[in-house]
Structure 1
């Protein structure tokens, strides 16, 4: 113990190395550096990395240095466009001696390339990391930054986790600019605003925050912006990293932000007054704030008849209760409350369990953990065999275990129904929360029976009531109950009748559309 204390004391005295990220680089003016000194600084900053290209060229009578990372720049397009510009007869006669001359050259030759005039070493390093081409003119205290970013990546395809039978088939990709375009295609409105953030001290990941300026609640918008700006982390690689850094600091298994890869779902939520967070490098986009009922809603609910949509949505709520309670109810009833079962069913279950050597709770745990292993194996294995392993493995293992007398047949049925019910949820992260709570309910049911199950449910509802997503109650609009918001909660009313946005968002513009009546068939001539 004393050795451990001394070791911890020694480690606590060690100095933490200073970050070499561009955010902490010195703001050195280019006026203080010659071209050779700048080249040396850049090579030192990037550690002589193999993909850093430092080329020398001549524009008119001026010597220039061209710097870029060939791994993130479209080199073919760069050579074609830049070569034509620098070798044109007009530019060969130009002499660049001042910053004004550089601006004139930029307007004339690079007006369509998204050029910028930068004046510090920090801006040059940041531009190179962002995939821009930097042109430094000798004797001028400024540099030219051009955008020739390599936009190669995965093309837009169908969603992989949120599929629909009827509705748009495109999904977000890893390129944030493409994702912005997919949203703009659906909302052609000047009130759709996006704010850009660079998050991650080392990774400098591009993150966009989008919202409808005339609709969104200003206080919620300010809170989201504040939390994004306050993120202090080394690297961001996925939107889940952003989610963990901005959600309310509450220990909970329930997601307080919703992720989706469907542009139509994002557009619909933006029109309701919610805020979208797009992270470069991932196809999963965050939506905030969210409430519990959002996770029972699918994009397809609005693409089919409202009666059928309401029926399917009720099925999701029933599936949630089945997936949450069925194994624990089996353990509780069989162990403590067998009188609740009909006599015939009870005798049938007892007969099936006659040769099973384990109590009900152990039997449930064996099957539940086995199924979780098969589920993870199906996800991690190659796509060609993953589905086969998960389905065939479950059937073979379940049948073999029942024939061997390790588990009963009724247990196989219960676990199968529970697993299928758990797959009904449109959102995968919410399904994970119910999986974890199910194990807690099983343990409590084996100790206290159905009373323990009811007690856990009471604590769960109390916990849900205490949750907030950026200040919005997690159980809204059910608790607190808002009558006018019930048109799109457990069932969906016709679209023409939903003329107000959710009141719990307190949007600047509460009306979603003008109040209209149900379309009616035309009256016959002369009829009343």
Structure 2
């Protein structure tokens, strides 16, 4: 117990003096102002970007003053520089525009680069960061500052259909690795001036752009402040994907369950924002994070709201049933066949025992052998090239399963149990939640092998107790079921008609409780208009 307490205490974040500051992104050389001498600046940046074949530095004229332009060829759109930047500099040189101080530089920006995204630079680390981010930096002789023009390349993966959360009816777009594209996909769906976006820079080495998105007149200020605070406290060297950020800002508890919801569907993320949640976009990742999250969120898909409520309710209840089968079916098989045969119908007991007559292993070893084999096949199918991945997973499962039965290693009934368990696990809409089910299934199998069905019940109660202990950004993980919130049961186990779901969930503590006019008000309004 002392070991677990030490691990948990080491995972806690000190929120009093752990805020990331801009100085955290400055290298060991410290904060150095730009020199007024072009030669010194030229030598300094040639030294910083030494052995970088794509680094470009050239002396140019900015008006009648000599200057420097520097950028990375691999990060910029060369056509923008040749067609726009250099043309503008040539035009300014022909007019002999004089720049001798900061005020002249500001006027020069307004006159010649007013249509550009421009950042002022005054320090060496500012220049380095902008060059590495795809900017073209112009430094002017005699002035210890310059300007950075946004000329980065627009190459990115096109918007495609979601590969991880497929639906039949509804939008087919998915996020890409471009943060700007992902933000535009959300803004197309939420045309509201209250939609706020805040930008952060995370990771000392990668300096990854992170953006949080929320409705400032809906989302709870406490939740927004908590998300903002946790991102500011990150002191990691690298953030490559949203998965890195998720692990760093999630509630620090030992749990297999995901503490944030991730999705590559813009419609699902937009709907969560409208509910009052906060979305987090990470540049370079096609998955958005949503906080806070509750247990029932992992059984809901966006297609539930694009079809009739009766069909959506049936499918949602089917997902809950599949979750219980994927979690409990193998352990219940062990408990019934090993400890409690009297609970099984006589004919079925005789059939199962007849199939296991030549099997040399106990039921638990037999089950673990098949479960581990299936997990190996699943990982092989996922990691191998797509051309052969599906063939390996399907043919491998059929061949190995059939050969194991014929060799007398496992029984026919066990193959059915393992196959049904695997199919039930695939029903989960979120892969991270399905992984938690896979892990806990092995735990329940081991406990049941020692204690029988009492162990299954004990393990299941321990999982429920663990879930009641979890909090996601201050929100109970089992809300609105634990604690029970009657008003929020309209969209949990069942999905009532949209006209009846006119309020946002109470557990989010949204600033605006009412989401839409109630169904009984709509006809009345129409009557008033007609009269």
Same fold (TM > 0.5): yes
Distance 2:28 2:250 in 1: 27
Per the TM alignment, residue 373 of structure 1 is displaced from its structure 2 partner at its CA by 0.4
- Give the match's secondary structure for 1:425: coil
Tell me the equivalent position of 1:172.
175
Q: Give the CA deviation at 1:152.
A: 0.3
Give the equivalent residue in structure 2 for 1:315. 318
In the TM superposition, 1:101-112 aligns within 5 A as: 101-112=104-115
Give the Cα–Cα distance (whole angstroms) in 2 for the partners of residues 44 and 472 of structure 1: 51
1:155 aligns with 2:158: yes
Q: 2:366 aligns with which of 356, 363, 368?
A: 363
Matching residue within 500, 506, 516 for 1:497: 500
For residues 36 and 450 of structure 1, the distance between their equivalents in structure 2, rounded to whole angstroms, comes to: 80
Change (3 A) 1:452 1:43: same
Q: Could you tell me which residue of structure 2 aligns to residue 382 of structure 1?
A: 385
Give the aligned length: 501
Consecutive unaligned residues in structure 2, runs of 5 or more: 1-22, 524-531
Question: Is 2:419 aligned against 1:406?
Answer: no
Moved more, 405-414 or 44-53: 44-53
SS where residue 329 of structure 2 aligns? helix
Aligned 8 A contact 1:313 1:491 in 2: yes
Query: Contact 2:62–2:93 at 8 Å: present in 1 too?
Result: no
Q: 1:259-300: CA deviations, max 9, x gaps?
A: 100000000000000000100111011000000000000111
Counterpart CA distance in 1 for 2:106 and 2:522 is 60
- In 1, the alpha carbon distance for the partners of 2:301 and 2:521 equals 24
- Given that 1:73 and 1:132 are in contact with CA atoms closer than 8 Å, whether structure 2 keeps it comes out as yes
Are the equivalent residues in 2 in contact too, given 1:497–1:517 (CA < 8 A)? no
TM-score for both structures, normalised by structure 1: 0.93
Q: Show the counterpart of 1:277.
A: 280
Q: How does 1:83-482 map to 2 (within 5 A)?
A: 83-88=86-91, 91-482=94-485
CA shift, 1:78, in A, is 1.3
Q: Secondary structure at the match of 1:102?
A: helix
Question: Per-residue deviation at 1:393?
Answer: 0.9
Q: Quick one: distance in 1 between partners of 2:371 and 2:120?
A: 61
**Cα distance change, pair 219–89 in 1 and its aligned pair in 2 (3 A):** closer
Q: Give a deviation string over 1:418-462, Cα, whole Å, max 9, x none.
A: 000000011000000000000011111111000001000111100
Structure 1 pair 342–89 and aligned structure 2 pair: CA distance change class (3 A): closer
Shift of 1:48: 3.8
Contact 2:61 2:93 in 1 (8 A): no
Deviation, 1:95, is 1.9
Using the TM superposition, give the Cα deviation of residue 27 of structure 1 relative to its aligned residue in structure 2, in angstroms. Answer: 2.6
Q: Secondary structure at the match of 1:324?
A: helix
The answer to whether the Cα contact below 8 Å between 2:36 and 2:142 also exists between their aligned partners in 1 is no
**How far does residue 84 in structure 1 lie from its aligned partner after superposition?**
1.5
1:96-125, Cα deviation, whole Å (9 max, x unpaired): 222222111111111111122222222212
RMSD (CA atoms): 1.5
2-structure distance, mates of 1:385, 1:160: 18
Residue 81 of structure 1, CA deviation: 0.7
CA contact (8 A) 2:326 2:424 kept: yes
Give structure 1 stretches of 5+ with no counterpart.
1-18, 521-528
User: 1:198 touches 1:204 (CA, 8 Å); kept in 2?
Assistant: yes
Q: Distance in 1 between the 2:297 and 2:502 partners?
A: 18
1:9 is aligned to none
What's the secondary structure of 1:134's corresponding residue?
A: strand
Q: Tell me, yes or no, if the aligned pair for 1:496 and 1:518 is still in contact at 8 Å.
A: no
Tell me: CA distance 1:89–1:469, structure 2 relative to 1, closer, same or farther (3 Å). Answer: closer
**Between 146-155 and 95-104, the greater mean CA deviation after superposition:** 95-104
The corresponding residue for 1:26 is 30
Q: Does the 8 Å contact 1:205/1:280 carry over to 2?
A: yes
Per the TM alignment, residue 76 of structure 1 is displaced from its structure 2 partner at its CA by: 1.8
1:60 maps to 2:63: yes
Q: C-alpha displacement at 1:391, in angstroms?
A: 1.0
8 Å CA contact 2:36, 2:143 repeated in 1: no
**Contact 1:25 / 1:122 at 8 angstroms: preserved in 2?**
no
Larger CA deviation: 59-68 vs 310-319: 59-68
